Amino acid sequence: MNTDYCGLLDLADFSNKQLPMDLKYKDITEKIIGSSFEVHKFLGNGFQEVIYQRALAWEFGQAGLYFEREKEQKIYYKHLEEPIGTRRADFIVENKVMVEIKAIKELEDVHLAQALNYLKAYKLEIGLLINFGSKSLTFKRLILSKRV
């Protein structure tokens, strides 16, 4: 079985912030995105990533979201019994959605690749890549599915 990147939804196209009805974990991702807008509205751009991460953790708590911050995940290679390293996603929310945040001028393909690799490592389908570094908050919804 091969695990492939299946889809990327650019949520910036939804200017009224209403997501399509059939999105998986829509209720969770709407709260995450709303929390992110609240943080960006208050702080703006220009801070280090850790500042946004701390503020977002507080907003998640206010939204009633269960989350783990900087959750470490072992990375395995082929059939090796021991991990070859570890990675930490910024947030795992409700044990269902991975959130990776950035504080850079513009998201690039390498950031998408990193977030997709985190989805694979955590064995999750849905992720949000959120950038606080631009003048306006930008974000991408990542969907990872298994293909036979």
Q: Give the C-alpha separation, 128 to 80, whole Å.
A: 30
pLDDT at 121: 85
pLDDT at 13: 42
pLDDT at 18: 53
What's at 125, amino acid-wise?
E
Q: Give the C-alpha separation, 86 to 108, whole Å.
A: 23
CATH number at 2-14+45-147: 3.90.320.10
pTM over 0.95: no
Which residue ranges make up each domain of the chain?
2-14+45-147
pLDDT at 147: 57
Q: What is the mean pLDDT of each successive set of 10 residues along the chain, which is 148 residues long? A: 40 46 87 97 96 98 96 87 90 96 94 90 92 95 76
